[in-house]
Amino acid sequence: MTEETYDYDVRCRTCRTIFKVQLFDSHDKNLFVAAKKDWYCEKCKKAYFSKQTEELTKAHKEIGLPELTGTRKMISWGVKVRGELINKVKYLQQSLSFINDEEKELSEKAFERFFKEWQEQTVAKWWVDNRKMNVRDISIRIKEITENLKKN
């Protein structure tokens, strides 16, 4: 088998440019994948990511979160992680129930403080490093903040 066996011509879905990809399954399967999969050339992939990053950044700005700093790649990744984490916070907030108004107010304050902590995180890498943060982690931090609020 020569190396060329693995090279397949595919067409970018966006700009219709034909480019080569390497596929390593059986020839029949490779042909199928080359024809059926949605392929995007490097240029369009980059454009897609910057557009996605731009849109997420804009949406985050609207809810008060700052633009991220770092390399292009880190910003693009960080902003995506931040979007996912925001959804986890929303999910948590919606799943809570309270026994009285006082408790509800306290919780709202805790979420506000929590959000403020996030507003201070402007380095994209911080978000990437925290990409594994789950609803439970967020819930624990909210509880800590709530306890502190109770003391004051």
Residue 10 contacts Zn ion per CB under 5 A: no
**48/98 with CB nearer Zn ion:** 48
Residue 41 contacts Zn ion per CB under 5 A: yes
The helix/strand count (H/E) of the chain reads as 6, 2
**15/31 with CB nearer Zn ion:** 15
Give the residues across from 19 on adjacent strands.
10
Residue 31 contacts Zn ion per CB under 5 A: no
Name the one residue in this structure whose structure tokens are 């509880």. Answer: 143
**# binding residues, Zn ion (CB under 5 A):** 5
Given 7, 9, 15, 119, the residue binding Zn ion (CB under 5 A):
15
Q: What distance in Å separates the CA atoms of residue 122 and residue 147, rounded to the nearest whole number?
A: 26
Q: What distance in Å separates the CA atoms of residue 33 and residue 107, rounded to the nearest whole number?
A: 50
Do residues 72 and 64 lie in contact, with contact meaning Cβ atoms separated by under 8 Å?
Answer: no
Residue 19 contacts Zn ion per CB under 5 A: no
Beta strands in 30-94 (DSSP E): none
Given 33, 44, 123, 135, the residue binding Zn ion (CB under 5 A):
44
The residues of the shown chain that bind Zn ion, judged by CB under 5 A, are 12, 14-15, 41, 44
